């Protein structure tokens, strides 16, 4: 592998770890509020402790009337192994290289008026309902993650840029509805453009110079 290949791979890896701002998610998702009632949402590139997609759906779980929320994280997530205190309550030590899953069907509210950060923390730390270790690394293409995909109605995330084509291909293969962030160049990909032409995929409401949903 040449020096440029290494640089290219390092840049791709850095892009793959770009995290989405809460406000960006909220502003786009505001347009689809009525689409989530009774649905199972999967965020399958999302560390439950780190991802604002998870946070958004936890905060709005009751408001949107979700049936179930599943978030799976990938083994190389930077939070794994660094913020160990977050995982202190788990029975087993946290393994770098392992993926984690949060799979919930209710978000209890302490004050009954809205989901607070304290409610979210309690839920994430709950031994019964909180975050559990996956068998593998949480790759969205792995068997156990595909099982979660099969159970989902809508997939919402910002997937790794370097795997965008494969990621969308899998969603189409399993016939899932989705709302995802991608680089604007993705419109021109030979795997993506025909989907837009056939009206199977369309652009979101916001930031057209930056993202395609
Ligand atoms: C662009 S980041 C976005 C993270 C998060 N979804 C968000 O929007 O803040 C892409 C995420 O996908 C994860 N990832 C990379 N390769 C993956 C794979 N094969 N399967 C699942 N997740 C992967 C990365 O660790 C990273 O957390």
Summarize pLDDT for 181-205 with one digit per residue, the tens: 988 889 899 999 999 999 888 888 8
Who has greater pLDDT, 7 or 110? 110
Q: Which residues line ligand 1 (CB under 6 A)?
A: 16-20, 45-46, 51-53, 74, 76-77, 138-140, 157-160, 163
Q: pLDDT digit string (tens) for 88-97?
A: 555 555 556 8
Say how far apart CA 38 and CA 141 lie, in whole Å: 26
Judge whether 93 lies within some domain: yes
182 falls within a domain = no
Domain of residue 126 covers 19-161
pTM: 0.88
Contacts of 106 (CB under 8 A, 6+ apart): 61
What tens digit of pLDDT does each residue of 9-22 get?
666 666 677 789 99
**What residues have CB less than 8 Å from 168, skipping those under 6 apart?**
178, 180, 182, 191, 192, 195, 201
Q: pLDDT digits over 126-141, tens only?
A: 878 888 999 999 999 9
Residue 196 domain flag = no
Atom 9 (ligand 1) nearest CA: 19
Q: What's the structural domain count of the chain?
A: 1
Residue minimizing CA distance to atom 10 of ligand 1: 160
28: in domain:
yes
Residue with tokens 């999967």: 42
Question: What residues contact residue 3 under an 8 Å CB cut-off, 6+ apart?
Answer: none
Domain annotation covers residue 176: no
């Amino acid at each position: 592998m040449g020096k440029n290949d290494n640089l290219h791979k390092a840049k791709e890896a850095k892009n793959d770890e770009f995290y989405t701002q809460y406000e960006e998610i909220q502003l786009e998702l505001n347009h689809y509020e009525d689409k989530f009632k009774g649905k199972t949402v999967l965020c399958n590139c999302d560390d439950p402790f780190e991802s604002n997609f998870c946070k958004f759906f936890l905060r709005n779980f009751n408001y949107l009337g979700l049936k179930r929320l599943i978030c799976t994280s990938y083994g190389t997530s930077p939070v794994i192994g660094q913020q160990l205190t977050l995982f202190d309550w788990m029975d087993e030590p946290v393994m770098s290289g392992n993926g984690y899953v949060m799979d919930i069907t209710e978000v209890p509210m302490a004050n009954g008026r809205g989901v607070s950060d304290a409610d979210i923390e309690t839920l994430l730390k709950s031994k019964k309902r909180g975050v559990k270790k996956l068998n593998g690394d949480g790759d969205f293409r792995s068997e156990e993650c595909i099982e979660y995909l099969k159970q989902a109605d809508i997939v919402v995330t910002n997937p790794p840029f370097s795997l965008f084509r494969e990621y969308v291909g899998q969603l189409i293969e399993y016939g899932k509805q989705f709302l995802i962030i991608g680089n604007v160049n993705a419109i021109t990909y030979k795997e993506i453009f025909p989907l837009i032409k056939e009206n199977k995929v369309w652009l979101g409401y916001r930031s057209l110079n930056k993202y395609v949903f």
